[in-house]
Amino acid sequence: MKSLRVLLTPTERRRPWILYFTPGLMAAEVAHIAIIVIFLGPIRKLLLPGLSKPVPSDISSVRLAIYFIILCLGVSVLTPLEVIATRLAIQRNHASQEYNSVSQEVDGDADDTAEFSGAEEDVIGYVLSFLSVEYDLPRT
């Protein structure tokens, strides 16, 4: 229950069905799935049928290059769609009047939540330095 208090606003906890009514979110997700299932999947099966076998064989380098170009075009369409869907999913909708429209929290409502990292902590730098020591990678 504590994790739901961190993820959801009080309005969303009281009425969870409003999460499904975010305008554009369903359209972005359906478009994302349609591009992968209806377009990219059949194109791969058409251009590279040898990859569907347990032991890949009969792979033409020309067909592989054509599929790679189509795949790059697909990724150039899918990436903005994923960003749009993510932004739509995390936006705060249906704000209640008794809450602050920015934070959606009542004063003192989020006081007992855990802070995952402070402003002065460099989590990514720590992970990169750990990996460079652990795997003997050159430091940047």
Tell me what pLDDT residue 51 has: 83
Residue whose structure tokens are 């990219």: 40
- In degrees, rounded to 5, the angle at the alpha carbon of residue 125 between the alpha carbons of residues 122 and 126 is 85
Residue 131 in any domain: the answer is no
Cβ neighbours, 10 Å, residue 21: 11
State the alpha helices, DSSP H only, in 8-115. 10-14, 25-34, 41-47, 61-90
pLDDT, tens digit only, all 140 positions of the chain = 677 777 777 777 888 777 777 888 889 999 999 999 999 999 999 999 888 888 877 888 999 999 999 999 999 999 999 999 888 887 766 555 555 545 555 555 555 555 555 556 555 555 556 555 555 555 55
Residue 114 in any domain: the answer is no
Tell me what pLDDT residue 115 has: 57
Its pTM surpasses 0.85: no
The structural domain count of the chain equals 1
Tell me what pLDDT residue 101 has: 46
Tell me what pLDDT residue 41 has: 92
CB-based contact 66:39 (threshold 8 Å): no
Residue 122 in any domain: the answer is no
Tell me what pLDDT residue 63 has: 92
Note down the domain range covering 90.
2-109
Cα torsion angle, 13, 3, 126, 85, sign: negative
Residue 63 in any domain: the answer is yes
CB-based contact 54:38 (threshold 8 Å): no
CA 51 to CA 48: how far, in whole Å?
6
